[in-house]
Structure 1
């Protein structure tokens, strides 16, 4: 019996189709990642199957392979924080109009596979004219940058902000979105990123030489209006003291503790505890720890609506040219170990993308 195109779109996969996935078996070097094949997944009620075209190598996967991501699942699991691809199958109860559409999805884990099942309510359409790899650079990085700027710090035109790690994945998107909003930006980065940052209109500061807080105070004696800090530890305290009255520190990681041992939650809990104390002080300053998944357990529909709205804004900024997709390398999924090693090397600028 032949299968109609409509039936194929609903079912999405043939009976014996196999997929490729990358498994993180435990705390291993990048070369310890395992390539496995398996049965193609099926779309359940309210779900879609996405044929992965691009998935990213982010700081989250770097933490996960060390067992240091604060809420990662038990080993073994398939990493992959986000993905972009075509909808191959639509389950009962999901919008049949999604079939064949290129979409993006934030999944936290599971993206490093050639086929991925996602709740239909979690996908965001990718605009025409934007490639899968370009869109991939903007999913987790773009949502993070947009929400920290506009939902946490609530930056306004004419303000001045400090972005630590301005040459990194989130930092690069963040500084471009800030400049598009009319915000002045100081960015810490290694010298090899300075030329690119200047091209974005950013004042670069070399984090490896001299006293960074002192240099920032020279540039902005009255303090900055916001600091975006992925480092944690001592850096959060320095960031707090660089604020002008009414300013905000938005912390979104603890990279300084990446290779520490012990509790992986403790570095984050320390930041949250400090902010709880500091926020009670009568100086109008505020500290926030940003978690992209915050609020999901208290309102799934509201979380989805906000994520969809914010990623749509980021994609629109990409289409307008307000931000550029910086792709460091594109490697096939089977070379995930090489991609992870490259992303961790600190020698590339932009996102390392795995392709399906």
Structure 2
């Protein structure tokens, strides 16, 4: 039955998951150039875990509705939008606002989901897929036969990244806790246990000449080690500071330190390159170019899914009304894949742990 009211999750401050609030109201109307999307799947990403702690470097002031991305069906369209878009399943990257039954978007920010791709499956590949694709193909650009190191290879971005890399003919070394090693081996990844092994020493054993690229979401000391593991001409792509998730103090400082190191390393005359990847980079300068690139790259990720090069790993599906449980599960480190939130009238699936 079609919902007749808006339900959204509100993050009121730095609170425990159980203190997230619900707000109800009328379904919004689409303005000029806008669409209203009936959410079918949204997810719990690392960004929301940081936002809950007030640690995401450019989060809005409290209170706000979290939700970094979503997939849903276009319910209505405003003036200036092609009427054929109504009824189509679309995906969107929104940064905030996705944890709601209905979301208003600029139509230009919506990317059509191919026929035959389910909402929850597509959801696992929106922010994770676009991040992995752009870091691998637009930043690192490692030639077939090269070797890369992926930190957190079992995580949301890491899982997609290693599969895209294997499809591109790359050798992959991936860090993860031991419980995930068998799954990584099945993907063709050489696993390294970051808890029990000396990661830099082990990577040097596996790649004595250095690796062609490192993808580092950990931040802190890990970024320095990652830079030192690069082969001549190699590329470091830093895309987070997970190590500082539970720290106190300035939420900008960990990122600013990485940016400072990136600037310094790129000034060195050694042929190596470093980037701090932000999926939103370039949007403020050229919105049309940003949208075109995002649409093209996310479409490539969906095609990779259809070809079987990438699998959609759903850790659990929980109704929006069980968002506290979903966040606890995502933060537990015990699940493989992405925790997906679905409309509140649907029942939960059991989580798949590994």
Q: TM-score range by the shorter chain?
A: over 0.9
> SS state of the match for residue 298, structure 1?
coil
> SS state of the match for residue 133, structure 2?
helix
Q: Work out whether 1:134 is the aligned partner of 2:102.
A: no
Question: Of 50, 73, 87, which aligns to 2:74?
Answer: 87
Question: Of 175, 178, 181, which aligns to 1:191?
Answer: 178
Query: 2:100 is matched with which residue?
Result: 113
Query: 1:270 is matched with which residue?
Result: 257
| 1:48-69 residue CA offsets vs partner (Å, 9 max, x unmatched) | 0000000010000000000000
Query: 1:309 is matched with which residue?
Result: 296
> SS state of the match for residue 78, structure 1?
coil
Query: 2:247 is matched with which residue?
Result: 260
Query: 1:225 is matched with which residue?
Result: 212
| 1:159-214 residue CA offsets vs partner (Å, 9 max, x unmatched) | 00000000000000000000000010000001111111100100000000121000
- 1:32-71 pair list within 5 angstroms: 32-71=19-58
Query: 1:342 is matched with which residue?
Result: 329
Structure 2: gaps spanning 5 or more residues: 344-354
Query: 1:290 is matched with which residue?
Result: 277
Distance, in Å, in 1 between the alignment partners of 2:163 and 2:30 is 37
Distance, in Å, in 2 between the alignment partners of 1:18 and 1:167 is 37
Give the TM-score normalised by the residue count of structure 2. Answer: 0.96
> SS state of the match for residue 287, structure 1?
strand
| 1:230-267 residue CA offsets vs partner (Å, 9 max, x unmatched) | 00010000000000000011000001111111110110
Distance, in Å, in 2 between the alignment partners of 1:262 and 1:66 is 11
Query: 1:159 is matched with which residue?
Result: 146
Distance, in Å, in 2 between the alignment partners of 1:42 and 1:170 is 34
Distance, in Å, in 2 between the alignment partners of 1:223 and 1:152 is 18
Distance, in Å, in 2 between the alignment partners of 1:38 and 1:341 is 27
Distance, in Å, in 1 between the alignment partners of 2:34 and 2:142 is 36
> SS state of the match for residue 118, structure 1?
strand
Q: Paired residues, what number?
A: 342
Q: CA RMSD in A?
A: 0.9
Query: 1:5 is matched with which residue?
Result: none
Moved over 3 A (4+): none
Q: CA deviation at 1:155?
A: 1.8
> SS state of the match for residue 267, structure 2?
coil
